[in-house]
Amino acid sequence: MHGIVKDFPGLRAVDHVDLQVEEGEIHALLGENGAGKTTLMNILYGLYRADEGQIFWKDEPVDVSCPSEAIRLGIGMVHQHFMLVRKMTALENILLGMRPEGYPIIRRQEQLQQADILCQKYGLKVNLRQRVDTLSVGEQQRVEILKALFRDAKVLVLDEPTSVLTPQETQEFFQILRVLRDEGHSIILIAHNLSEILSISDRVSVLRDGKKVCTIKTSSTNERELSRYMIGRDFLASNFYREATDQSREILRFQNISLHNSEGVSLLRDVCLCVHSGEILGIAGIDGNGQTELAEVLMGIRRQSGGDILLDGQSLGRWSVRRRWEAGLAYIPADRHQDGLIMDADVKDNTALRTYYQPPLSRTHILQPSQMRDQAAALTEDYQVKTPSVATQVRLLSGGNQQKLILARELQSKGNLLVACQPTRGLDIGAAEYLHTRLMDRRNQGRSVLLISTDLGEILALSDRIAVICSGKIMGVVPNTPDLSAELLGLMMGGSTLEEAKGWM
């Protein structure tokens, strides 16, 4: 790609970018949200047209006007949000839109074999006959890759592939990428996570504000250098200002909380935990081990099967979601699109969601639109939410700004406890750092944060104490001291209790 330019109204999204990808390499594309990575790749895949510049394919200038043209050339793309028909099987999804040999008669057996051969060759473990909505996220991703490979893709564009994967799945996924590379495929990897880029890619191109900063060999760089290129300044790893706070008071206590689903499967087992004033309690664990359930029981979104929760010594019992908010619980949900925001509503309505029924936003059940606008404007400014206006649909904001909007709404709480689930998942470094600073500020004011995250780096950077959850059970709670070993936490995340883990160390 040479001299690519793409303008959006009032914004040059991609500014004279050159990008060269060799055969058989994993090329990482690094940059903050809004740096132009996805736009650039959409141009390559024919979803957007470049305003200037030329794409070359094997030294020949080509005109990629639509995705089918890109596919014909041998370019495949796996989007961050998968493009799969959930009610069809994996194989049907792979064949969808193709005219394989024998069309229109479907020779399923033959095609199954063909797809199976691909699976074997690249080590992609998928049950092709299974319906997509019963597959795990990792498997769905493999179906997407198979889709591209089945169409003879030579270049694979992967848009933030690891953001949806658990750490283990990520490792498996990287293994697949290495096999693909060794078979002569080229891979363009859009990513945020520095350590992942360092461990998998051959070369890295860094984009910042639509311009390419550099392309370097991965082996000749390190995290510090990359993050400097990406954000244009040094990355403040975990050097937060940590004030000495009074942590003597107990704010929240989980007492033997248990939860079963309708089939009787235990999701939470006898959880006992407490959160003190002026501390960040981190809950570490691999995704899907009961973290979301714990938060939802606490917020009143789910009802526990047994046990009780005490807030400031008072039992929450069967209190409603709203009553818990009024009692001082604020919540950043893990799934911000589904749980945190109303995407079709505007910024103003979303900021008002927690407080619309109280003065000054409403008086005697009558809404005060001007007050709602003023409040939304003040909050978006305070929390640096970049939005064209408070009447803009939240759907149109970037991920970082959406998350800041939730933060702005929830921190209106005068209460003492913020529950933050995966607060920085999928965010660029700038936005993530902003979120972290705000959480730390909260702690330094003497209030508490329950931080639930699968990102161990985040937990280690912020927490005062760390609890590890596995299969719905708390394996142990340890103070976050400099000599705390990641290995100990790793063992607990894998299902050992604190005592066992210590014994093995």
Partner 1 sequence: MDVKRKAIFTLARVVAVLLLSTVLILLSGADPIRALQAFLSGIFGSAHGFTEVFVRATPLIFLGLGVAITFRTGFFNLGAEGQLYMGALASTAVVLLLPASWGSLRLPIALVSAFLAGGIWVLFPAWMKSRLGISETVNTIMFNYIAIMLVGICIRTFLQEPGSTLPQTAIIPEDCILPLLLYPTRFHAGTILSLVAAVLAWFFLCRTTTGFEMQMVGMNKRAALCTGLSVPKSLLLSAVIGGGLAGLAGFNEVFGVQHRLLEGVSGGNGYTAILVALLALNHPLRVVLMSVGLAALQVGAATMQRTLGIPNSIVSIIIGFIVLMILCGSLPEILEENHPILRKRKENIRHVE
Token digits of residue 349: 């309505």
Place of tokens 């990808």: 21
Instruction: Please select the residue that binds partner 1; options are 209, 223, 270, 339, rule is CB under 8 A.
Output: 339
* Contact status, residue 123 vs residue 92, Cβ threshold 8 Å: no
- Which residue in the set 333, 430, 472, 476 belongs to the binding site for partner 1 (CB under 8 A)? 333
Please say which residue, 46 or 138, places its beta carbon nearer to partner 1.
46
CA of residue 96 relative to chain centroid, distance: 28
**In degrees rounded to 5, what are phi and psi of residue 316?**
-85, -20
N residues, the chain: 505
Minimum Å distance from CB 73 to partner 1? Answer: 16
How many residues contact partner 1, by CB under 8 A? 44
Distances (CA, A) of 443 to 186, 190, 454: 46, 34, 20
The one among 219, 239, 262, 320 contacting partner 1 by CB under 8 A: 320
Task: Determine the residue type at 153.
Answer: A
CB of 6 to partner 1, least distance (A): 9
User: In sequence order, which residues have a C-beta less than 8 Å from that of residue 405 and are 6 or more positions away?
Assistant: 341, 347, 350, 351, 379, 380, 383, 385, 387, 394, 397
Closest separation between CB of residue 345 and partner 1, Å? 6
Report the site for partner 1 in 99-138 (rule: CB under 8 A). Answer: none
Q: Which of 49, 86, 129, 217 binds partner 1 (CB under 8 A)?
A: 49
369: amino acid identity, one letter = P
397 neighbors 343 (Cβ within 8 angstroms): no
Q: If you search the block for the tokens 């051959």, which residue do you land on?
A: 202
Nearest to partner 1 of 122, 331 (CB atom): 331
Q: Which of 219, 344, 370, 414 binds partner 1 (CB under 8 A)?
A: 344
Indicate whether 338 belongs to the interface with partner 1 (CB under 8 A): yes
Residue 66 touches partner 1, criterion: CB under 8 A: yes
Q: Residue 180 and residue 174: Cα distance in Å, rounded?
A: 10
Residues 57 and 232 sit within 8 Å (Cβ to Cβ): no
By C-beta, is 169 or 349 nearer to partner 1? 349
Interface with partner 1 by CB under 8 A: which range of 127-135, 340-348, 467-475, 485-493?
Answer: 340-348
Q: Give the integer Cα–Cα distance in Å for 377 and 255.
A: 41
Round to whole Å and give the CA distance between 390 and 371: 12
Q: What residues are paired with 75 via a beta bridge?
A: 155
58 and 3 Cβ atoms separated by less than 8 Å: no
Q: Does 426 bind partner 1 (CB under 8 A)?
A: no
The footprint of partner 1 on residues 260-299 (CB under 8 A) is: 299
Q: Residue 49: name the closest of 64, 36, 37, 62 by CA.
A: 64
Q: For residues 318 and 365, which CB has a smaller minimum distance to partner 1 in the complex?
A: 365
- The closest of 62, 23, 26, 25 to 44, measured between CA atoms, is 62
Residues of span 464-503 touching partner 1 by CB under 8 A: none
CB nearer to partner 1: pick between 290 and 300: 300
- The correct pick among 45, 240, 331, 434 for binding partner 1 (CB under 8 A) is 331
Q: Which stretch binds partner 1 (CB under 8 A): 24-32, 389-397, 473-481, 493-501?
A: 389-397
41 neighbors 190 (Cβ within 8 angstroms): yes
Closest-CA residue to 180 (of 210, 213, 155): 155
Task: Name which position in 80, 166, 258, 398 contacts partner 1 (CB under 8 A).
Answer: 398
> Contact at 8 Å (CB) between 434 and 405?
no
Quick one: 211 or 228, whose CB is closer to partner 1? 211
Q: Does 80 bind partner 1 (CB under 8 A)?
A: no
Q: Counting contacts by CB under 8 A, is residue 370 touching partner 1?
A: no
By CB under 8 A, is residue 303 in contact with partner 1? no
From CA 435, how far away is CA 66, in angstroms rounded? 38
Among 343, 377, 477, 484, binds partner 1 (CB under 8 A): 343
From 62, 112, 327, 345, residue interacting with partner 1 (rule: CB under 8 A): 345
The residues in 140-159 that bind partner 1, with binding defined as CB under 8 A, are: none
What amino acid occupies position 486?
Answer: A
Nearest distance from C-beta of residue 322 to partner 1, angstroms: 3
**Segment lying near partner 1 (by CB under 8 A), choices 144-152, 172-180, 314-322, 453-461:** 314-322
Site residues, partner 1 (CB under 8 A): 7-9, 13, 33-34, 39, 48-49, 65-66, 299, 301, 320-322, 324-325, 331, 333, 338-345, 349, 352-354, 356-357, 362, 365-367, 369, 388, 392, 396-398
